[in-house]
Structure 1
Amino acid sequence: MTVLNGEDEVVELCRDLIRIDSTNAGDNAGPGERAAAEYVAEKLAEVGLEPQILESDRGRANVIARIAGEDSSRDALLLHGHLDVVPFNPDDWTHHPLSGEIADDCVWGRGAVDMKNMDAMMLAVVRQRLSEGRRPPRDVVLAFTADEEAGGTYGAQWLADKHADLFEGCTEAISEVGGFSVSLDDARRLYLIQAAEKGIAWMRLTAKGRAGHGSMLNSENAITELAEAVGRIGRYEWPMRLTQTVTTFLTEISGALELELDLDDAEATVAKLGPLARMIGATLRNTANPTMLDGGYKANVIPQSATAHVDGRFLPGYEEEFFATIDELLGPNVSREFVYHDIAIETGFDGALVRSMTDALLAEDPGALAVPYTLSGGTDLKAFSRLGMRGFGFSPLRLPAGLDFSGMFHGVDERVPVDSLRFGVRVLDRFLDGS
């Protein structure tokens, strides 16, 4: 077998994946992930693996493969990445989101950040190691999933429910939204490793009233009831709740920046983080943002009902408080139901896997400081955690100072630096050796 160079391959792998349209609007009507899954499976088969493509529905494809380690009696490690991406409007982009174009030393396109970059790094590292005959110290399971961007119903959740046997022995996992750098100065960089995720509560609110003519008095107007509830929720100031992960992050960042930390005024520290403040600020408290309204069908008709949608996110340990507050804010005439609901998760920032991540980063960047953080969104880790896995977000990228990387998640002009992809391959290779 020809020996492959992961650093050379990763850029083209990323470009190829971006060019495959796998947009997922959440309605199960898009192109699906089948084409991307077949591409991944072919690349894995070329280096001697026997990947399985598993479809949960037509075109909703997942790829699973297991690499036998040097000691298969040890607990196994899961590396997982999703193949779907969120929709886009190409007119908003500098370069077409399906072009995979290289410009300004970056690979551009939908998925360059979330998360075909990590998919490419996983493929590049595995292909190089297997072509060189290097097995990992323990079994590694690779999972390339469908439907993460809509909650994983056709992907990770389905795999965990229907094919748990494929993850036998897996106790730890790594995937997206962590391991990327934030420059402190010319010599030092924070690498944010995701150790917790907020829970998700997408809710449909419904107000019932009395239908009638728009010219008459009506004290049971569904739109009025709904609007007042939405206003109460949208304007509510949630109290600060500092979890273990957030407290560790604030302590580490304050020390690195030589800031005095007052945990009673954590927002003052977060405000000094520049663009990163948007992401971290959302992890200091629960949140609930109204996102959709629907009611009525004619200007002079008072409708019998009206609906709204709210995107709720709750911190680990604060789910009960979150829903008690929401129900109080709703009032007596508005009901709620789940559109989607999933758990919050958190793990300690300690142990051999954390040391492996930290050591791999330091070997490639002596100015690295690895710190845990909480993700305000959610990933496939929620589903795999139900199988007993402890997981982290670790997609290592050394980024140029000033690049608003976190702002490109689901944004326009998504792009990843070429050198960052190559850095990620080197770090993941070292990580696997030490895991």
Structure 2
Amino acid sequence: MSSTPLPEVARIARDLIRIDTSNWGGGKANGEREAAEYVGAHLESLGLETEYYEPIPRRTNVMARVPGRDRSRPALVVHGHLDVVPAVAEDWSVDPFAGEIRDGMLWGRGAVDMKNMDAMILASVGDLLRAGEQPERDLVLAFFADEENGGVEGSALVVKERPEWFAGATEAISEVGGYSITVDDRRAYLLQVGEKALIWIRLVARGRAGHGSRLHPENALTRLAEAVAAIGRTRWPIRLTPTTEALLAGLSDLTGRSADDPDALAAAAGPAEAFLASTFRTTANPTVLQAGYKHNVIPERAEALIDVRTLPGTEDDVLAELQHIVGDDVEIEIVVRDIGMETPFCGDLVDAMVAALGRHDPGVPVIPYLLGAGTDNKALASIGITGYGFAPLLLPADLDFTGMFHGVDERVPVDSLSFGQRVLADLFRTC
């Protein structure tokens, strides 16, 4: 029985998924060197010169520059990350690192975040170079380690120690934008023009150690549990920015619904609802609890990790409010703090991205949005490069694409990867 050959873009994505690049944070990661070497070998097969940077053993980054037709123009950085969050295999329907093709979809950790885009970058550049073409301007192709730990051992070190990689670049594109959503049975694309600020905090509660059988009012675990519950139950107020106002206006135009109730309008986006609603407010989610070492011993210290994402410019106010929520008995330590960003939905590159989508899916509106999470664009911003999220995917209306970021059973349609490859190649020819 014959079968349809797998497109190159899907083969690359599958190969990358099969390289386990799980990143647990704190310097513990797998496979980033092997993934960087795979990417480097592919770039070299296209006739490009690669450069590696490994500031920490096995935390490998790789870069190549593609000469453009007009080298007087500022370069465009096109970047991805090679690490993924860990996957608990027993929770999945498939082996998360097998790169299985099933029902027209590629399954595996990284299929959504973000080995899909890595593959689309490599395949689209390959389209141009194998056809003897050049992009309109220089492309700086960069693939980073450690993005899933805030980039502290990846892009943050690269921009500090290898700024020459990005010489002459003023703009960048990467993940979490350019994908389609379905709103009241109408399709639209979301183009990411900003990111919320990232603050990872540790809550520390202290008490007195003692025997588990005694009456013990100074229990660190109880204090921590109360603080964690208080944060987890807090409903932060809606606070719109220019980008989220533009998002709501676009959704309102699409649906005919009022923009006065942001949450109700986000609900019209179906599976993308939670992703969009998170952009209207601060989020603070408990993610890890650490305390104790034996069933009958009350520990003197208990800790929790909280993932906080704030609207740009509100970071200090949010930290003060968090301290008020947990009270004076619980200490807040900042583990990682990174900037928020917001860029106007205009300019030549934005116009080129919108036009590229329009040539491949005519008549479908493109709406700006603020990403509730973060990308390596934050590191590039520190050296003056404006970043956007543009990993174009035409997706089925019923696929909960945004829900699979860091979720189980990550999967992406093979046809969507091919669509993204075509749109990116088109963009590189014209932008």
Please tell me the residue identity of whatever aligns with 1:344.
G
Residues 282-431 of structure 1 mapped to structure 2, 5 A cutoff: 282-298=278-294, 301-431=297-427
Residues 77-88 of structure 1 mapped to structure 2, 5 A cutoff: 77-88=76-87
Please tell me the residue identity of whatever aligns with 1:355.
D
CA distance in 2, matches of 1:417, 1:302: 50
What whole-Å deviation, never above 9, does each CA across 1:231-290 have from its counterpart, x for those lacking one?
32222221111111111101101110111221xx32121222211111111111111122
CA distance in 1, matches of 2:96, 2:294: 39
8 Å CA contact retained: 1:189, 1:367: no
CA distance in 1, matches of 2:284, 2:269: 23
Distance 1:61 1:331, change over 3 A: same
8 Å CA contact retained: 1:24, 1:32: no
CA distance in 2, matches of 1:247, 1:160: 32
Q: Which segments of 5 or more consecutive residues in structure 1 lack a partner in the other structure? A: 1-6
Question: Number of residues paired by the alignment?
Answer: 426
8 Å CA contact retained: 2:183, 2:268: no
Partner in structure 2 of residue 3 of structure 1: none
- The CA RMSD measured in Å over matched residues stands at 1.9
Distance 1:294 1:18, change over 3 A: closer
Residues 169-208 of structure 1 mapped to structure 2, 5 A cutoff: 169-184=168-183, 188-208=186-206
Note the C-alpha offset of 1:176: 0.4
CA distance in 1, matches of 2:20, 2:253: 44
Note the C-alpha offset of 1:90: 2.5
Partner in structure 2 of residue 56 of structure 1: 55
8 Å CA contact retained: 1:233, 1:329: yes
CA distance in 2, matches of 1:338, 1:170: 32
Note the C-alpha offset of 1:20: 1.7
Partner in structure 1 of residue 227 of structure 2: 229
What whole-Å deviation, never above 9, does each CA across 1:71-127 have from its counterpart, x for those lacking one?
222111000001111211233333322222222111222111111111111111111
Q: Please state whether the residue corresponding to 2:383 is helix, strand or coil.
A: coil
Note the C-alpha offset of 1:44: 0.9
8 Å CA contact retained: 1:245, 1:346: yes
Distance 1:209 1:424, change over 3 A: same
Please tell me the residue identity of whatever aligns with 2:376.
D
What whole-Å deviation, never above 9, does each CA across 1:352-373 have from its counterpart, x for those lacking one?
1110000000000013211111
Note the C-alpha offset of 1:300: 5.1
Partner in structure 1 of residue 3 of structure 2: none
What whole-Å deviation, never above 9, does each CA across 1:282-325 have from its counterpart, x for those lacking one?
11111112223333445554433222221111111211221121
Give the stretch that moved more between structures: 302-311 or 357-366: 302-311
Q: Please state whether the residue corresponding to 1:275 is helix, strand or coil.
A: helix
CA distance in 2, matches of 1:329, 1:213: 29
Partner in structure 1 of residue 257 of structure 2: 259
Distance 1:169 1:333, change over 3 A: same
If the length of structure 1 is used for normalisation, what is the TM-score? 0.93
Give the stretch that moved more between structures: 350-359 or 368-377: 368-377
* Aligned: 1:250 with 2:232: no
8 Å CA contact retained: 2:262, 2:277: no
CA distance in 2, matches of 1:419, 1:160: 34
CA distance in 1, matches of 2:296, 2:47: 68
CA distance in 2, matches of 1:97, 1:302: 38
CA distance in 2, matches of 1:154, 1:414: 25
Please tell me the residue identity of whatever aligns with 2:228.
V
Percent identity reads 53
Please tell me the residue identity of whatever aligns with 1:327.
Q
Partner in structure 1 of residue 43 of structure 2: 44
Note the C-alpha offset of 1:342: 1.2
Q: Please state whether the residue corresponding to 1:279 is helix, strand or coil.
A: helix
CA distance in 2, matches of 1:39, 1:231: 44
CA distance in 2, matches of 1:214, 1:94: 40
* Aligned: 1:149 with 2:148: yes
What whole-Å deviation, never above 9, does each CA across 1:28-86 have from its counterpart, x for those lacking one?
33323111111111111112110112112222111111111122221110000011112
Partner in structure 2 of residue 74 of structure 1: 73
8 Å CA contact retained: 2:230, 2:325: yes
CA distance in 2, matches of 1:88, 1:299: 28
Note the C-alpha offset of 1:213: 4.9
Note the C-alpha offset of 1:22: 1.6
What whole-Å deviation, never above 9, does each CA across 1:327-347 have from its counterpart, x for those lacking one?
211212211112222111111
CA distance in 1, matches of 2:99, 2:296: 51
Distance 1:217 1:373, change over 3 A: same
